[in-house]
Chains A and B, each alone.
Chain A
Amino acid sequence: MTRSIWKSTAPKNNFPSLNEHINTEIAIIGGGITGVTTAYFLAKSGKKVVLLEAGTISGGTTGDSTGNLYAMVDKRLHHIQSKWDEETAANVARSRGEAVDLVEELVNKYQIDCSFKRVPWYLFSETDQKDETIEKEIAAAANYRLKVEELQELPVPVKVSKAIKVEGQAQFNPAAFVRGLAENIDSANCRIFENSEVYHIEKEEELVLSTATGTVTAKKVILATHTPKGIYGLQTALYPYREYAIAAKLKSGDFPDGIYWDTEADFHTSMRTYSKGGDNFVLVLGGHHKVGQEDDYSRFFRKLEQQARKYFDVSEISYEWSAQHYKPADGLPYIGESSDDNIYIATGFSTDGLTYGVLSAMILDDLLNGRKNEWSDLYKASRFTPVKSAKNFINENLNVAKQYIKDLPGKAEAGSFDEIAAGQGKVVEVDNEKWAVFKDDTGQVHCQSAVCTHMDCIVDWNDAEKSWDCPCHGSRFKATGEVIEGPAFSPLDKRSMNPKK
């Protein structure tokens, strides 16, 4: 079973689950960095807030992230500059820089024990094939007010063709930060509930959120759920990908802190160090792929381990985990009011979500308090950018159509339940229906419909995470069908076992 180093080492909160009916001004769904930081600001400004988290605080993508905070972006700022313009790229860098500063301010204000530290960010190429990317970033950097230093070698034992360094970025334990901040939210104005999964939003004059044991009626709702829950047109502009991470315990060696990004395109790894309880770890991250569209998911962990052992004196791989991210069609996140009145979203963060999550909180706080925000137009959720979005929009939505077309009668991974090994899952056709069948370690068979409850794509078995992943919009379900993440509200429909199979 995979588990991130952040979730494993951060102290947990102990908030109750929702067992009542509450009326409030603002309800926030999702207790990750976006939801908790937004709740903190709104409660501080005097708003009455209820935060509902399906699992535990920081138990989702925030706790599975890299723990890196930086002004730059995954796709590189020069890419934003070429797609948008110089001013937009500069504003992205500046707004993200302000978000990093804000995290530092909150850590210092509440003395949150989350290993926050300022570190340099490095971008390097191992061969001269990717030197151009570095050169573009250097050339464009002056526009972003970032001080870039060119290097011939890195402080980690990696062969380098070209490298740059930007000082003043940061690292922390994201789960410890979010859980620490949640403890410091003004409890007179904000109530937090864990293990309170919202399975339905009734859009009436006010918005009514239902969990299994309670309801919250709110004037406004913030979907801090990584991608909006339910069906939104915006989902045609959000593309779900997964990325993998390992934390390798080192036998020897003490490497300087930093965020190390490799430009090599095929696996696109990044590295960082982390020390906890006298143990030194190197975290290696990479292996980016479309959700639900792989045959062998475990291979990504094997490749990361290979990468770690190539450069470092590794004693063991202590943690393995993966996380989802949503790429936006036009390169910028969508933050603000959605197409549904009074429902706000913050999504499309790509792999830069920790910084964008905090930035979203700054924007949403201003929007919901009627204040002008400097960045709100830049990231406006309802913006229409057909030219900038066209290439990704066409490619990615053709990919979605392809996933639908694969759903044909007689096309299944296994002909009978006997073909499924213990601990594995396969799609089986039973009575002209696709079933997602999981056989647990004791041999017990768990059957559910393989049709995703979001928009009807056929889910795919993820052998690394033991989950059912939807290749269309990224909904993910446990082996037994319960929702893990993504836009789906409902679990996979249960099916009773057919003895014929």
Chain B
Amino acid sequence: MVITAVILIGIAVFLGAYLLSYVLQQKIPPKGIAIAHGTAAVLGIIILLIFALTTQQHHKHWDSLVIFGTAAVVGLYLFSRDLRHKAVPKWLAVVHGAVGLGGLAWILIHVLH
């Protein structure tokens, strides 16, 4: 279950990096990619949440969930600004990406151990 979540979040991070390249070039990101990015991330978080609520294992990945939840809230804000044709703050997009990437690294460290 955790592996599935990690794969989905990995896809979301990869697509997010692609979207970030648009934001940094002040171009409008393709919405198809933005929706795929968001969908992969949300599914990953939901699967991770189900794991946390059902597993008997000691490490339930609540720490990773907090990190991804934070990234998701910022992501939703960025998406809503983009849809309203308002400028997406570059620094916030970078922070969003860094939190997501950091979260992926964090969960990978725990999974690989």
Contacts and interface: CB of A to CB of B under 8 A. Distances in A.
A432 B31 contact: no
A453 interface: yes
B84 A457 contact: no
Contacts of A401: 35
A409 B33 contact: yes
Interface string A398-416: 0001001111110100000
Interface stretch (B6-14, B22-30, B50-58): B22-30
Contacts of A458: 31
A451 B32 contact: no
B33 A408 contact: yes
Listed residue (A401, A432, A458) with the most chain B CB atoms within 10 angstroms of its CB: A432
Interface in A317-345: none
A464 B22 CA distance: 34
A234 to B, nearest CB: 15
B30 A408 contact: yes
B32 A455 contact: no
A296 B77 CA distance: 38
A105 interface: no
B90 to A, nearest CB: 17
B85 interface: yes
Contact of A404 (B22, B35, B84, B85): B35
B83 interface: yes
A454 interface: yes
Interface in B29-50: 30-36
A430 to B, nearest CB: 11
Contact of B84 (A231, A406, A431, A451): A231
A254 interface: no
Contacts of A405: 31-32, 35-36
A449 B32 contact: no
A294 interface: no
A456 interface: yes
A433 interface: yes
Interface in B81-99: 82-85
B27 A407 contact: no
B15 to A, nearest CB: 11
A408 B32 contact: yes
A408 B84 CA distance: 19
B85 A407 contact: no
Contacts of A406: 32
Nearest to B18: A409
Nearest to B32: A408
- The 6 A-B pairs of least Cβ separation, nearest first, read A408-B32, A404-B31, A407-B31, A407-B32, A405-B32, A407-B30
Given A231-B84, A432-B25, A456-B82, 18 more contacts: A404-B34, A404-B35, A405-B31, A405-B32, A405-B35, A407-B30, A407-B32, A407-B33, A408-B30, A408-B32, A408-B33, A432-B22, A433-B27, A434-B30, A453-B85, A454-B85, A455-B85, A457-B31
